[in-house]
Homo-oligomer: A and B are copies of this chain.
Amino acid sequence: MAQSGNETPVPRRDTYTPESLLAVAVEVFNERGYDGTSMEHLSRAAGISKSSIYHHVRGKEELLHRAVSRALDGLFGILEEPGASSGRAVERLEQVTRRTAEVLMAELPYVTLLLRVRGNTETERLAMERRREFDQRVTDLLEAAAAEGDLRVDVDLRLATRLLFGMINSIVEWYRPEAGGAAGGEQVADAVVRLAFDGLRR
């Protein structure tokens, strides 16, 4: 993500960085819920003591903050990608839909946590606000596509955006990258685009 410059030439072996600790913490947060996770749970999962965790991060909420920020950066990155700003709106919308599903799967644990945040702390409220901002950008895209006459007219646009995101976001409830089985990431993204734009019916 950030530049891996020429300092610290090779990742160290054993000791934790805030980043590697984050990966562990986010897994636990997603299993037990953020509020349901104690520092004791985290310390056991990381294999170090509670107080060692405080050497790397200021506390539980900093871990949450880092996690949701990473997810949000991934999502907003989609809007900067080439192709997100030219061409027919419905095609841009289709591309954003596919990329959102892909980013969600690529950054699965981080986005999962983001989507479950309820607004109890300042960190959570900030995350919710940025998320709404992203949603709004996509709503704008739907409006543009509707103005170009490419969307059905019998469904409210805000409602459609919400249901579209509902479908995409629900991927976090069951997608697990290791189990390639009947659900590789490509296949999932394809299915989302097909169902969202053309529906279930033959």
**Minimum distance in angstroms from A18 CB to a CB of chain B:** 25
Please determine whether B90 and A201 come into contact, CB atoms closer than 8 angstroms.
yes
A159 surroundings in chain B (CB, below 8 A): 182-183, 187-188, 191
Would you call A58 an interface residue if the criterion is a C-beta within 8 Å of the partner chain's C-beta atoms? no
Which chain B residue shows the least CB distance to A167? B167
Please determine whether A198 and B196 come into contact, CB atoms closer than 8 angstroms.
no
Would you call A150 an interface residue if the criterion is a C-beta within 8 Å of the partner chain's C-beta atoms? yes
A164 surroundings in chain B (CB, below 8 A): 195, 200
Q: Please give the count of copies of this chain that the complex contains.
A: 2
Please determine whether A171 and B166 come into contact, CB atoms closer than 8 angstroms.
yes
* Further 14 A-B residue pairs, CB within 8 A, beyond A36-B120, A166-B171: A33-B35, A149-B202, A151-B200, A152-B194, A155-B191, A156-B182, A159-B187, A160-B195, A162-B170, A163-B167, A166-B169, A169-B170, A195-B199, A198-B199
Query: Which residues on A are within 8 Å of B, measured CB to CB?
Result: 31-33, 35-36, 90, 116, 118, 120, 149-156, 158-160, 162-171, 173-174, 182-183, 187-188, 190-192, 194-202
Which 10 A/B pairs are nearest by Cβ-Cβ distance? A166-B170, A199-B199, A35-B35, A35-B36, A198-B199, A167-B167, A197-B201, A155-B191, A197-B199, A166-B167
